[in-house]
Amino acid sequence: MLIAVCSSFLTGQQTWGGSYLSLDVANDVFYLPIKTDQYFTSGISLELGKQEAGRSPFRQLGLATRTQYWRFTQNIFTPREIISQQLQANDRPFASYLVATRGKTYTDEDLGFHLGRSITIGVLGKYSGGGNMQNAFHEMVGFADPLPGWINEVKPDAIVNYRLEIRQAFRPAGRVSLTTGVVARLGTLHTDMTTALQLRLVAIKRNEHRFLTFKLSGDARLVGYNATLTGGLINRDERYFGIIRPTRIVGQAGFEGALNYDVLELRGGIRHLSREFDGGLSHAWAWIGITVMPGWQSIKDSRRNNRL
């Protein structure tokens, strides 16, 4: 599937219109000077999508940008005691998942309204390759040893998840915007609801496609279920289910920056998450990303044509 989508992207830019390719890499080793494997330890996400400007579904005679995308994600989680082969009390289990997400969003910039929905399918556990990925990385860097504790990873299970996102932006000043939002997830990987608040500042702006932005965000999540803590719903893991007790309200804060220059966006940031389970600790990681947008001019032309 990934090869087919990449082939369409690389060979059909003209038919894709506002196409883009995005890659994000996260790791707690990026969060200097801590540099340790703990809880959420690494993740990688590749997204291929298409943006089109057209009539808004929220109001008559309005314009909105529709985005359709495929996203492929692998995330890896480890306990604090990463060397021991024994199960640890009051510690996060080894866990990883590999998923594919199909999503669609609508953004009406004049209203400041954003609606998104997606469906995710994949696998939890050893077949996602998280343990092999982390041990291969440790062997490559040379200063970290392979982790034998991956034999205690949560049992393999199927992942099916649905996500709904609603956001509303307010612009009290020309280069400042405040966005509130609600995100709900339901499925075998995550079942929760999040309220979000984000402050965005355009620090430097040369034109519509050359600018520097910074974002400060805060989320509060009401947790119903988290398979990376307790194992899957279908193939229940009695070693963790009912033993690891998730924290029902989890907070997250983030800071990030992004530099846009025509078809290219470079970005990065940090995340700080409060404790996710009884006996756990808060933790942080950093991430970096890049997006290539060969179709940005098509979006601009499409907006102009729809206004005529």
Q: The CATH number of the domain where 37 resides is what?
A: 2.40.128.140
Average pLDDT rounded to a whole number, residues 207-231: 96
Q: How many residues does the chain have?
A: 308
**Sign of the C-alpha dihedral computed for residues 300, 302, 306 and 308 taken in this order:** positive
- 251 in a structural domain: yes
Higher pLDDT, 186 or 13: 186
Answer yes or no: is pLDDT of 16 > 70: no
Q: How many CA atoms lie less than 13 Å away from 71 in the CB half-sphere?
A: 20
Q: Is the pLDDT of residue 94 over 50?
A: yes
In a domain, 287, yes or no: yes
Of 89-93, 196-200, 302-306, the least confident? 302-306
Whether 199 shows a pLDDT value over 90: the answer reads yes
* Most distant CA pair in the chain, distance: 67
Question: For 128-137, 161-170, 239-248, 279-288, which range has the lowest pLDDT when averaged over its residues?
Answer: 128-137
Q: What mean pLDDT comes out for the span 18-46?
A: 86
- Compute the CA torsion angle 188, 235, 276, 193 (nearest 10 deg): 20
pLDDT surpasses 70 at 172: yes
Q: At residue 229, does pLDDT exceed 70? A: yes
Task: Name the token pair of 275.
Answer: 């404790």
In which band, very low, low, confident or very high, does the pLDDT at 81 lie, cut at 50, 70 and 90? confident
pLDDT of residue 89: 76
How far apart are the C-alpha atoms of 131 and 150, rounded to whole Å?
Answer: 6
Kindly report the pTM of this predicted structure: 0.86
Within a domain: 101: yes
Note whether residue 73 is domain-resident.
Answer: yes
In angstroms, the CA 283 to CA 44 distance is 18
**Does 1 have pLDDT greater than 50?**
no
Does residue 110 sit within a domain?
yes
**308 pLDDT exceeds 60?**
no
Instruction: Encode 254-263: b = buried (16+ Cβ within 10 Å), e = exposed.
Output: bebebebeee
Element (H, E) at 229: helix 227-230
| Residue 162 backbone dihedrals phi, psi, to 5 degrees | -120, 140
* H helix intervals, 42-108: none
If one counts the domains in the chain, the total is 1
The answer to whether 50 and 34 have CB atoms below 8 angstroms apart is no
**Average pLDDT of the segment spanning 122-133:** 92
Lowest-pLDDT range of 77-86, 201-210, 211-220: 77-86
Would 11 be classed as within a structural domain? Answer: no
Structural domain containing residue 249: 20-307
Asked, for residue 14, whether it belongs to a domain, the answer is no
| pLDDT tens digits, 175-196 | 999 999 999 999 999 999 999 9
Band the pLDDT of 54: cuts 50, 70, 90: confident
pLDDT at 230: 94
Sorting pLDDT into bands at 50, 70 and 90, what band is 264? very high
Give the list of residues 6+ apart from residue 215 with CB closer than 8 angstroms, or none: 198, 199, 200, 201, 254, 255, 256, 257, 258, 269
Structural domain contains residue 3: no
> Looking at the predicted structure, is the pLDDT value of residue 55 above 80?
yes
Q: Which residue from 215, 193, 204 is spatially nearest to 268, judged by alpha carbons?
A: 215
How much is the mean pLDDT over the chain? 87
Q: Which two tokens stand for residue 258?
A: 């992004």
Confidence bin at 165 (pLDDT 50/70/90):
very high
Q: How confident is the model at residue 8 (pLDDT cuts 50, 70, 90)?
A: very low
Q: What are the tokens at 214?
A: 């910074």
